[in-house]
Amino acid sequence: MADVTAAISRNGFGLLRELAENNNREWYHAHKAAFEEQVLAPFASILELATERLAETPLPWQGGRDTMFRMNRDVRFSKDKSPYKTEVSGLLTPDGTKQHAGPIVYVACSDDGGMLAIGIYKPLSDTLDSIRTAIARDPSEPLRIQTRLTSRDRTIESSDVLKRIPRGYEDMKDHKVAELLRMKDMLVIDRPTKTDWQRGRIPERVERLATDSAELVAFLSSGASERSKT
């Protein structure tokens, strides 16, 4: 059953929308207490409830206040000098820290509903090459995982896809796994609505996403761990 005590209210979404329209330090500091009460604290509770739901699953990952990202943007190398993010976000990881380098669950709430994602995001080049090696070594396994995800109305997506097959895998350019080999990260994404956040459905959606994607996470984890054995 959804827990509405860990929900982003209509007022919380109003604050997120106002922040997008008034992205400056004066507005944020004037509304800081309300933002904490209506957005940040409920979001931390959502991560904690998701942790509880995942405890008895194959992915007993953890998150809470310590795995949330700061609202401040790093503007040092950006043309956009807006000081704050317009979404609140955080992670669930195997060790309950933001420093985990392998697969993670990413949770983000914004005025358009935000997103949930599980998988590996922008891995180091040696980790990515290890995953690609695992895909090429036994293509039947990632294809089977892909088919299982499709049967659950899930797909493997990427934030960055090469136009051509990566160097060293040219002989697989026409293989069914060619698209996976061209991905620079691999994620299964769920896009909740504002109603889902307002009615406390996010922990349940995180659990379902993690359960549906557990085989992919295991594959990515084992592929990435190959590098540490060499």
pLDDT at residue number 119: 97
What confidence tier does 226 reach under pLDDT thresholds 50, 70, 90? low
What confidence tier does 3 reach under pLDDT thresholds 50, 70, 90? low
pLDDT at residue number 6: 81
- Helical ranges in the chain per DSSP H: 10-21, 25-30, 32-35, 41-54, 125-137, 140-151, 178-182, 194-198, 202-212, 214-229
pLDDT at residue number 228: 44
Burial class (CB in 10 A: 0-12, 13-18, 19+), 216: buried
pTM: 0.93
Q: Is 119 helix (H, G, I), strand (E, B) or coil?
A: strand
What are the extents of the domains in the chain? 10-229
Confirm if 46 and 203 have CB atoms less than 8 A apart.
yes
pLDDT at residue number 121: 94
- Per residue in 8-19, pLDDT (tens digit) is 999 999 999 999
Percent of the chain with pLDDT over 70: 94
pLDDT at residue number 229: 47
Q: Is 164 helix (H, G, I), strand (E, B) or coil?
A: coil
Residue that wins the pLDDT comparison between 225 and 79 = 79
Confirm if 105 and 205 have CB atoms less than 8 A apart.
no
pLDDT at residue number 10: 96
Full 3-state SS string of 65-105: HHHECCCECCCCCCCCCCCECCEEEEEEECCCCCCCCCCEE
Task: Reply yes or no on whether the pLDDT at 168 is more than 50.
Answer: yes
What confidence tier does 80 reach under pLDDT thresholds 50, 70, 90? confident
Between CA 145 and CA 123 the distance in angstroms is 20
pLDDT at residue number 230: 45
- Per residue in 24-69, pLDDT (tens digit) is 999 999 999 999 999 999 999 999 999 999 999 999 999 999 999 9
Architecture of domain 10-229: 2-Layer Sandwich (3.30)
